[in-house]
Amino acid sequence: MRWTQTLIPTLREDPQDAEAISHKLMVRGGFIRKLSAGTYSYLPLGLKVLRKVENIIRDEMLKCGAEEILLPALQPMELWKKTGRDKDLKEVMITFKDRHGKMVCLGPTHEEVITSLVAGNISSYKGLPRIFFQIQTKFRDEIRPRFGVIRSCEFIMKDAYSFDMDGKGLEKNYKKMYEAYRRIFDRCGLPYKALKADSGFMGGGESHEFVVSSKAGEDIELGHTFKLGTKYSKTLGATYLDNSGNTHDIIMGCYGIGVNRILAASIEVSHDKDGMIWPKSIAPYEIVIMPLNVGNEKVRKFSEDLYENAKKCGLDVIIDDRNERAGVKFKDADLIGFPIQLIIGDKNFEKGKLELKKRKDKSSQLVDKKDIIEILKIT
């Protein structure tokens, strides 16, 4: 992508309403913009990171044999009344009456909906075990939205649900999902902790939460796994017939990940005074090509050719083709946190050299320009 063709409105000052460093840097780096309290628009860089995180999650879910679905955001309140959770989540549910006079809500979570779906479509042991997952927007009317996307009213969640015949099956799927979560957070470069936790309004038995310590003053919950048992299946009629014709309640598990929070957590644990420091796996772009003087025709042409060749080789690259001072380009590259900065200055270029700088430790080295594609492939 070309910088001049991408909306990247960087700022030099912190937004006045931002408390957490992730909130400050996501606004300053041009990743997000606030629409109202607890709701944010994702600009191109922010959306690109979101998609990379989603792809990692989706990849690990599919490796587990989970099936991807998409459930409605609009949910009838009658489902919530059956489980009694209309009272448990009353303070944060966004509810309204539709034109037909029925009460509906914007889904804060989807246990009722998925259980109802399974109840209507799986009735035999032959249809079990199953794991379904989705990546979808949730809505909660937070009493005090804060820390940017860490605690917002509209957020993206990966929620998965397992359905088994017995506790042994649940234990197997729970372990499978637990290990998938470890791989997801490892691939996202996050130093997480897995802790035993209270099941809260979700109900059921054992649960674990995956957290990252935040400088915002509290531990940011990235994911939560629950052994639900029959809390929802018993209430909503999700049963199966065994091979002898006997009826049993399906045993459930639930597994959530806050997708937006992974972005914020990564920034909270990996930044310095100059800006964000992204791991390559979820960086908005892995490499930024930085011709410092686009008025130099030789430098400009080399940079353009390098950019096109890098794309053809499958490298994740953006070119800073702005006619800006070198200092502006350096500050923006550090603020946004691209893992690799390829700096093309007039003097080094004339000597056949380019400067390759790593954002994480700010180390740099001069490399031969004729070998640069191969060097970038292995850096």
pLDDT tens, residue by residue, 3-55:
999 999 999 999 988 999 999 999 999 999 999 999 999 999 999 999 999 99
Given this model, what pLDDT does residue 198 score? 72
Question: Which two three-digit tokens encode residue 221?
Answer: 């919950």
Question: Which two three-digit tokens encode residue 59?
Answer: 């990849």
Element (H, E) at 81: helix 77-83
∠ CA(340), CA(343), CA(349), 5° rounding? 140
Give CATH 3.40.50.800 domain extents, the chain: 287-378
- Please give the order of strands across the beta sheet that includes 364-368: 317-319, 287-291, 340-344, 353-358, 364-368
- pLDDT tens digits, 112-147: 999 999 999 999 999 999 999 999 999 999 988 988
CB 235 within 8 A of CB 204: no
3 state SS of 359: coil
- pLDDT tens digits, 303-326: 999 999 999 999 999 999 999 999
What is the distance between the alpha carbons of residues 138 and 122, in angstroms, rounded to a whole number?
26
Binned at pLDDT 50, 70 and 90, residue 247 comes out as very high
* Dihedral angle of Cα 258, 263, 266, 267, to the nearest 10 degrees: -130
**pTM for this structure?**
0.94
CB 58 within 8 A of CB 135: yes
CB 214 within 8 A of CB 71: no
Give CATH 3.30.930.10 domain extents, the chain: 3-271
Binned at pLDDT 50, 70 and 90, residue 83 comes out as very high
Comparing C-alpha atoms, which of 165, 168, 214, 164 is closest to residue 193? 214
Backbone angles phi, psi at 365, to 5 degrees: -150, 155
- pLDDT tens digits, 322-348: 999 999 999 999 999 999 999 999 999
What is the distance between the alpha carbons of residues 57 and 106, in angstroms, rounded to a whole number?
24
Given this model, what pLDDT does residue 207 score? 87
CATH fold for the domain made of 3-271? BirA Bifunctional Protein; domain 2 (3.30.930)
Question: Which two three-digit tokens encode residue 326?
Answer: 């070198």
Does the pLDDT of residue 216 top 60, yes or no? no
Span 60-72, mean pLDDT? 97
- pLDDT tens digits, 153-192: 999 999 999 999 999 999 999 999 999 999 999 999 999 9
Given this model, what pLDDT does residue 220 score? 76
Given this model, what pLDDT does residue 199 score? 64
Question: Which two three-digit tokens encode residue 317?
Answer: 């690259």
Does the pLDDT of residue 201 top 80, yes or no? no
Question: Which two three-digit tokens encode residue 63?
Answer: 């490796």
Binned at pLDDT 50, 70 and 90, residue 213 comes out as confident
CATH number at 287-378 = 3.40.50.800
The count of other CB atoms within 10 Å of the CB of residue 364 is 12
Element (H, E) at 180: helix 167-187
- pLDDT tens digits, 222-245: 999 999 999 999 999 999 999 999
What is the distance between the alpha carbons of residues 207 and 147, in angstroms, rounded to a whole number?
25
Given this model, what pLDDT does residue 200 score? 65
Given this model, what pLDDT does residue 350 score? 96
Given this model, what pLDDT does residue 217 score? 59
- pLDDT tens digits, 259-286: 999 999 999 999 999 999 999 999 999 9
